[in-house]
Chains A and B, each alone.
Chain A
Amino acid sequence: MKTQSAINTYVKEIGGWAASQLEACTRCGLCADACHFYQATGNPEYTPVWKTEPLRRAYEQRFTIAGRLKLAVGLDKPVTDEDLKHWSTIVYEACTLCNKCAMVCPMGIQLGPLIHDVRSGMAAAGVVPGDLVAATMKQKDVGSPLGVTDKTWAERMEWIGDEWEVKIPMDVQSADTLVVFTSIELMKFPDNIAAIAKIMDKAGEKWTTSSKGREVVNFGYFEADEELTKLFLSRVFDAAKELGVKRIMISECGHAYDAFRWTAANIMDMPKNVAITHIAQVMHDFWKAGRIRLKKGAYDDGTVTFHDSCKIQRRGGIIKEPREILKWLAPSSFKEMTPNKEQALCCGGGGGVISIQEADPLRFAVFGMKVDQMKEIGAKSVCMVCSNCRLQFTEGVAHFGSDVKVRGLSEMVSQALE
């Protein structure tokens, strides 16, 4: 029964695009060496091509003569309920959908989106890890995967405004920019919210938050449940329409940027004339336009490095902007980790992995490689533009006993404002 739900979803997902991707694979195995989970563990089941196996089987056994023959004579196996459970742990706990595998594939196969399709079958079959389901249900029921209610959100925003002495506008009609934060920032990194408020204010931006569209994270997207993905996106889009804003600015969150910037346009109607942007881009634009001034060398006191977030840098291409800012703030102390930019190593916490307790050993095994990268350049601090990465780094450096300071770029920029 579970299997049939998954197969139905896979069959629905397999259009010309997915078929061409699956047919193009030559099983060369190059994607394996790009996968941080495979690199960290050596487990062959974590190779990206193996993660797409349920989708491949569904495609071949349903749509190709060779696949049907192989199945008929017992050369290939049908997907079973047990297989689904097994692959569920692989695609949810050992994959962050970072899509680095696609960067090395000589055939240009987009493995990340294919693995997302595999997840969608798991979601339809109800074989998603319990922790991820619990967070998704909280987002559905109370509006936040961390269980932040409307009341808690309003109280906490008020507390941040009072204690960090910043203005956090709420539900301002006809503001230019709707800023949507993550629950992680709200609960764990409130200084990031204060920092962004300070930057927006200094730039003279007419901005607002929304009490209705208050959560930018999308656990429906992590699960790969399209209906829930749309529901969570629509809460923010509806708020943007109601407030009449010109753009939605995603705060420090990678998957949210992906969901709003690209996924939404492929699965639903988006509000017309509302741009989607990310805080890293906006800060850079403000700085280049002279709307904010930053103290040169404000962080030139120990090696600072930058962690590229998969969805913002590799996918989103916002690569030079944070670097230009960092080279201004730390002209002699900024150093790159290797590899970096499009080829950077994922932190290991994305794609919902950080929310699944059973995946902790795996995500820390992966993070060990980031620790090595930071050690190689003698990093004293590391900064990033994704709060999910930041939480993974915060927990990761603690896990490994590293004393590298973990920072959000907005926080650094706000402290360097002149």
Chain B
Amino acid sequence: MASFTLTPVDKGILRCRHTGPFTPEDVQSLAGFMRDYSGKLLIDLTGADAEECSRHIRQFRPMMPVAAIFGALLDPAILIIDKSYYANEVRLFPTEEEALAWLRNQ
């Protein structure tokens, strides 16, 4: 089973739900998805191991489309990257409602 699932939420918004530890194959296919996907992403980390997520989210951060993350207590510092022309806005929210509301306005 893949460590993430992708399901539609709204027009132009997909939910990326983290469901278990990442294997290298999962990392590669998620990178491939982020490379090709041009919509917005609602990243659902409910029930995920925050420590395990942190390393990968930090590395995925530069590749992410516009995204709102919720569901795990992450250190916001892992989302900080140098402001640059290639990078999209990614924010952390305490709840799904807040995350989705922000995402819909982007």
Contacts and interface: CB of A to CB of B under 8 A. Distances in A.
Given A138-B84, A391-B86, 19 more contacts: A135-B84, A146-B86, A147-B84, A156-B59, A159-B55, A159-B59, A162-B24, A163-B22, A163-B28, A164-B27, A187-B63, A187-B86, A187-B87, A190-B63, A191-B28, A194-B28, A355-B84, A405-B36, A406-B35
Interface in B8-55: 22, 24, 27-28, 31-32, 35-36, 38, 55
A23 to B, nearest CB: 39
Closest 9 CB pairs of A and B: A147-B82, A398-B38, A187-B62, A163-B27, A355-B85, A146-B84, A159-B59, A163-B24, A188-B86
A394 B35 contact: yes
Nearest to B26: A163
A354 B27 CA distance: 28
Interface string B44-76: 000000000001000100110000000000000
B53 to A, nearest CB: 14
Contacts of A53: none
A4 interface: no
18 contacts: A138-B84, A145-B84, A146-B82, A146-B84, A147-B83, A148-B82, A163-B22, A163-B24, A164-B24, A164-B27, A165-B24, A184-B86, A187-B62, A187-B86, A190-B31, A355-B84, A357-B85, A394-B38
A147 B38 contact: no
Nearest to A145: B84
Judged by DSSP, the binding face of B is helix
A258 interface: no
A286 interface: no
Interface residues of A, number: 30
B81 A147 contact: yes
Interface of B: 22, 24, 27-28, 31-32, 35-36, 38, 55, 59, 62-63, 81-87
Contacts of B81: 147, 187
A164 B28 contact: yes
Q: Which of A146, A184, A357 has the most CB of B within 10 A?
A: A146
A45 interface: no
Nearest to B36: A405
A13 interface: no
Interface string A397-412: 1100000011000000
A379 to B, nearest CB: 15
A189 interface: yes
A354 B31 contact: no
Contacts of A163: 22, 24, 27-28, 59
B33 to A, nearest CB: 11
Judged by DSSP, the binding face of A is helix
B62 A397 contact: no
A336 interface: no
B24 A188 contact: no
Interface in A141-167: 145-148, 156, 159, 162-165
Contacts of A159: 55, 59
A143 to B, nearest CB: 12
Given A156-B59, A165-B24, A191 B86 contact: no
Contacts of A146: 82, 84, 86
A131 interface: yes
Contacts of A165: 24
A188 B82 contact: no
Q: Which of B32, B59, B82, B87 has the most CB of A within 10 A?
A: B82
A353 to B, nearest CB: 10
A191 B35 contact: yes
A357 B85 CA distance: 7
Contacts of A357: 85
B85 A354 contact: yes
Nearest to A360: B85
A98 to B, nearest CB: 19
Given A162-B24, A163-B27, A164-B24, A189 B35 contact: yes
Q: Which of A189, A190, A194 has the most CB of B within 10 A?
A: A190
B38 A188 contact: no
A101 B82 CA distance: 36
A187 to B, nearest CB: 4
Contacts of B55: 159
Interface in A85-131: 131
Contacts of B35: 188-189, 191, 394, 406
Contacts of B83: 147
A162 B62 CA distance: 18
